Amino acid sequence: MSSLPIQSLLVEDDRDLAASVADYLSLENIAVDHAYNGQAGLTLATENDYDIILLDLMLPRMDGLEMCNRLRQAGVDTPVLMLTARDTLDDKIAGFRAGSDDYLVKPFAMEELLMRVLAQTRRRSSQARKLSVDDLELELDSRTATRAGHNLKLTPSGWTLLETLMRASPGVVTRTQLEQALWPDMAPDTNSLKVHLYNLRRQVDKPFEYPLIHTVSGQGFVLRK
């Protein structure tokens, strides 16, 4: 495991359970911030950068479903693992619809909790409803794109490319990954991606003070300031 600890937020009003979870995870190089109600959890989750959020459903001041939904609407893509005694299918569906990435029913074994945490922290959540990089924003529900407050007119292919780059930012996306996003079966030819990227840059970069889409020689493309 890396020498840098995984940063987690535990939102749980059962203080004994929270202490047990925090003690166990700390032995596995996982740092734990703790909030005892949904409102405090929402504040911490939006003000700090966590690798995972462990979220109880039944919370004072704001329940877990509402907190998760607000995080996703705000564009927070931190993976959320819901911890709850509710174990019906309807409860699980409600959790996933609110933006949860995984669901663990109480009582649970600490070893299973650890495995779920490690699995979720290997990726960012795909449940966020807004993506932002610098002054560029994508509203996924309304499918609108803006930069510095100006609406961008994107083709369907341009939208797919931009969403792929924004989800990976500030990481590099290879040419192959972009081609697979546009053409899951087979890319038409070597120039097609180049044309789509050119048109995307005309919308995202050309009218503005500085570019956000950059070519990384020998690696691919990246979207960052």
Answer yes or no: is 125 within a domain. no
At residue 189, the pLDDT reads 66
- Residue 28 Cα distances to 19, 54, 73, 79, 122, angstroms: 15, 16, 31, 18, 15
Residues 166 and 131 sit within 8 Å (Cβ to Cβ): yes
* Cis bond before residue 170 (omega within 30° of 0): yes
Per-residue pLDDT tens over the stretch 70-87: 998 887 878 899 998 887
Give the Cα separation of 190 and 217 in Å (integer).
17
Answer yes or no: is 1 within a domain. no
Q: Verify that 190 and 134 share a domain, yes or no.
A: yes
Q: Verify that 200 and 165 share a domain, yes or no.
A: yes
At residue 13, the pLDDT reads 94
List of E strands, the chain: 6-11, 30-35, 52-56, 80-84, 102-105, 130-133, 136-139, 144-147, 150-151, 213-216, 220-223
Answer yes or no: is 171 within a domain. yes
At residue 191, the pLDDT reads 77
Answer yes or no: is 215 within a domain. yes
At residue 125, the pLDDT reads 54
- Which ranges of the chain have pLDDT less than 70? 1-4, 122-128, 187-190
Close Cβ partners of 58 (under 8 Å, ≥ 6 residues apart): 13, 64, 84, 85
Structural domains of the chain, count = 2
At residue 67, the pLDDT reads 94
Close Cβ partners of 129 (under 8 Å, ≥ 6 residues apart): 72, 73, 75, 99, 139, 140, 141
Give the Cα separation of 176 and 189 in Å (integer).
12
At residue 155, the pLDDT reads 86
Of 120, 143, 177, which closes a domain?
120
Give this prediction's pTM: 0.58
At residue 2, the pLDDT reads 41
Give the Cα separation of 86 and 194 in Å (integer).
50
Domain span at residue 95 reads: 6-120
Give the Cα separation of 70 and 220 in Å (integer).
34
Residue 37 maps to which CATH number?
Answer: 3.40.50.2300
For the record, the structure tokens of 9 come out as 């937020």
